[in-house]
A and B are shown apart, each in its own frame.
Chain A
Amino acid sequence: MQKNLSVNTLQALKDRQLVHKGSDSSSLERRVVSSGYSDFDQRLDGGWPAYGVVELSPENTGIGELRLLEPVLSNLAILRPLQAWVGVPACLMPSYLTSASRERGLIISPPDRKQTCWVVEQLLLSGCCSSVVCWMDELSPAQAKRLQVAAKESQTLLFLIRSSFSLSQSLPVSMRLQLETLDAGLKVSVIKRQNAWPLEPFALDLSKRWPQLFRREKSEVHAFCPDNVVAFPSVNHLRTKKS
Chain B
Amino acid sequence: MRWLALHFPQLQLDGVYSTQAGTSDKSEGVDDNKVAPEPLKPISAMLVLDDKQCVCQLNDAADQAGVQYGMKLGTASALVDDLQLFNHSSEFEKQRLLEIAHACYQVSADIAVWNSKTLILDVAPMLKLYGSFECYVDALFEVEALDDVRMSAVIANTPLAAYLLSCTGDIDDPLVEQFSRQDVWLPILDRLNVDSVGIAREQSLQLKRLGLHYLGDVRELIEAEHSRKELGNRMGKKLLSHIAQLFGDEVLALTYFKPKDVFSHSVLLEYEVYRTTALLFPIKNILQVLQQYLQRRAKRIQTLSLYFQQRDGSVLSVNLASAEPERDSARWLNLVRLKLESMKLPAPVIGLRLEAIKLLEERVQSSDLFDLKPALSPGQLVARIQAKFGDESVKKMHLEADHRPEYSFRYESVSTQPEHTSRLNEELVSHDSTHVSDGECLKYSKRSQTLRPSLILSLPVPLQESVRFIHGPERIQSAWWTEAPVCRDYFVARNTAQQTLWVFRDQAQEWFVHGLFA
Query: Who on chain A is nearest to B513 by CB?
Result: A62
Among A89-103, those with CB < 8 Å from B are 89-97, 99-100, 102-103
Q: How far is the CA of A37 from the CA of B399 in the complex (A)?
A: 27
B339 part of interface (Cβ distance < 8 Å): no
Decide if B450 touches A210 in the complex (CB within 8 Å): yes
Greatest chain A CB density within 10 A among B389, B414, B448 is at B389
A240 part of interface (Cβ distance < 8 Å): no
Decide if B381 touches A213 in the complex (CB within 8 Å): no
A107 part of interface (Cβ distance < 8 Å): yes
Decide if A126 touches B381 in the complex (CB within 8 Å): yes
A214 part of interface (Cβ distance < 8 Å): yes
A32 part of interface (Cβ distance < 8 Å): no
A149 part of interface (Cβ distance < 8 Å): no
Decide if B380 touches A126 in the complex (CB within 8 Å): yes
A81 part of interface (Cβ distance < 8 Å): yes
Given A82-B429, A102-B399, A224-B471, CB of A123 within 8 Å of CB of B458: no
Q: List 5 extra interface pairs beyond A103-B427, A108-B394, CB under 8 A.
A: A7-B367, A88-B455, A102-B399, A126-B375, A181-B498
Q: How large is the interface on A (under 10, 10 to 19, 20 to 34, 35 or more residues)?
A: 35 or more
Q: How far is the CA of A220 from the CA of B491 in the complex (A)?
A: 13
CB neighbours of B452 from chain A (8 A): 93, 95-96
Please, how many residues of chain B have a CB less than 8 angstroms from a CB on the other chain? 64
Decide if A127 touches B372 in the complex (CB within 8 Å): yes
- The 10 closest A-B CB pairs, nearest first, are A62-B516, A127-B374, A181-B498, A96-B454, A62-B499, A94-B397, A126-B376, A66-B518, A126-B381, A90-B455
Decide if B450 touches A93 in the complex (CB within 8 Å): no
Decide if B377 touches A63 in the complex (CB within 8 Å): no
- Residue of B372, B394, B414, B471 touching A155 (CB-CB under 8 A): B372
Decide if B516 touches A61 in the complex (CB within 8 Å): yes
Greatest chain B CB density within 10 A among A110, A213, A220 is at A213
Decide if A92 touches B397 in the complex (CB within 8 Å): yes
Q: How far is the CA of A125 from the CA of B449 in the complex (A)?
A: 33
Decide if A94 touches B450 in the complex (CB within 8 Å): no
Can you name 22 A-B pairs with beta carbons within 8 Å? A62-B455, A63-B500, A64-B517, A81-B428, A90-B456, A92-B456, A93-B405, A93-B456, A95-B409, A106-B428, A107-B397, A108-B393, A115-B388, A123-B381, A127-B372, A127-B375, A128-B377, A154-B375, A181-B498, A210-B517, A213-B500, A224-B472
A41 part of interface (Cβ distance < 8 Å): no
Interface string of B452-469 (1 = CB under 8 A from A): 111111100000000001
- Residue of B370, B390, B438 touching A99 (CB-CB under 8 A): B438
Query: In angstroms, how far is the closest chain A Cβ from the Cβ of B407?
Result: 12
Q: How far is the CA of A129 from the CA of B370 in the complex (A)?
A: 19
B378 part of interface (Cβ distance < 8 Å): yes
Q: How far is the CA of A154 from the CA of B399 in the complex (A)?
A: 30
Query: Who on chain B is nearest to A88 by CB?
Result: B455
A204 part of interface (Cβ distance < 8 Å): no
Query: Who on chain B is nearest to A128 by CB?
Result: B374
Query: Who on chain B is nearest to A182 by CB?
Result: B498
CB neighbours of B378 from chain A (8 A): 82, 126, 128
Query: Who on chain A is nearest to B468 by CB?
Result: A221
B327 part of interface (Cβ distance < 8 Å): no
B431 part of interface (Cβ distance < 8 Å): yes
Decide if A213 touches B517 in the complex (CB within 8 Å): yes
Q: How far is the CA of A210 from the CA of B399 in the complex (A)?
A: 22
Decide if B471 touches A90 in the complex (CB within 8 Å): no
B296 part of interface (Cβ distance < 8 Å): no
CB neighbours of A21 from chain B (8 A): 370
A205 part of interface (Cβ distance < 8 Å): no
CB neighbours of A210 from chain B (8 A): 450, 517
Query: In angstroms, how far is the closest chain B Cβ from the Cβ of A33?
Result: 16
Given A90-B457, A103-B431, A107-B394, CB of A62 within 8 Å of CB of B369: no
Decide if A94 touches B500 in the complex (CB within 8 Å): no
Query: Who on chain B is nearest to A123 by CB?
Result: B381
Query: Who on chain A is nearest to B471 by CB?
Result: A212
CB neighbours of B405 from chain A (8 A): 93
Q: How far is the CA of A146 from the CA of B373 in the complex (A)?
A: 20
Query: Who on chain B is nearest to A119 by CB?
Result: B385
B515 part of interface (Cβ distance < 8 Å): yes
B492 part of interface (Cβ distance < 8 Å): yes
CB neighbours of B501 from chain A (8 A): 62
Query: Who on chain B is nearest to A209 by CB?
Result: B450
A67 part of interface (Cβ distance < 8 Å): yes
B84 part of interface (Cβ distance < 8 Å): no
CB neighbours of A224 from chain B (8 A): 471-472
Given A67-B518, A128-B376, CB of A92 within 8 Å of CB of B389: no
Q: How far is the CA of A17 from the CA of B462 in the complex (A)?
A: 61
CB neighbours of A88 from chain B (8 A): 455
B41 part of interface (Cβ distance < 8 Å): no
Query: Who on chain B is nearest to A161 by CB?
Result: B518
B284 part of interface (Cβ distance < 8 Å): no
Query: Who on chain B is nearest to A109 by CB?
Result: B393
CB neighbours of A96 from chain B (8 A): 452-454
Q: How far is the CA of A146 from the CA of B445 in the complex (A)?
A: 38
A60 part of interface (Cβ distance < 8 Å): yes
Decide if A63 touches B499 in the complex (CB within 8 Å): yes
Given A99-B438, A213-B500, A224-B472, CB of A93 within 8 Å of CB of B428: no
Interface string of A61-84 (1 = CB under 8 A from B): 111111100100000000001100
Query: In angstroms, how far is the closest chain B Cβ from the Cβ of A101?
Result: 10
Query: In angstroms, how far is the closest chain B Cβ from the Cβ of A119?
Result: 6
Among B385-406, those with CB < 8 Å from A are 385, 388-390, 393-399, 405
A113 part of interface (Cβ distance < 8 Å): no
A233 part of interface (Cβ distance < 8 Å): no
CB neighbours of B448 from chain A (8 A): 95
Among A179-210, those with CB < 8 Å from B are 181, 210
Query: In angstroms, how far is the closest chain B Cβ from the Cβ of A72?
Result: 14
